Amino acid sequence: MTTIIKNPRITEKASLAQEQNVYAFDIGSSANKTEIKKAIFALYKVKPIKVNVLRVPRKNIISRGKAGVKGGGRKALVYLKSGDKIEFV
């Protein structure tokens, strides 16, 4: 079984979204919305209102003169009701 939630996504855009109670997480390739809701409740003890799942595309990069690829994957946007918070340690 793959992990459902890999880690929180800490980006500038995700930090701005936290002000509206929207949190971003990297998720496994086979995770679905109901599994994500259960995992968020198990980890952080908050009940999400809704979950959006998005695909993160692979990106071609050049680092130190060599071509490479950034992995891509999937991410989830978790919406919480006002008053609920998730604290990342």
pLDDT tens, residue by residue, 16-54: 999 999 999 999 999 999 999 999 999 999 999 999 999
Terminal-to-terminal C-alpha distance of the chain:
26
Contact (Cβ atoms closer than 8 angstroms) between residue 56 and residue 75: yes
Q: What is the pLDDT of residue 1?
A: 38
Q: What share of the chain in percent tops pLDDT 90?
A: 92
Give me the residue spans of the domains in the chain: 5-79
Structural domain 5-79, CATH architecture: 2-Layer Sandwich (3.30)
Using CA atoms, how far apart are residues 44 and 53, in angstroms rounded to an integer? 19
Output the pLDDT for position 3. Answer: 86
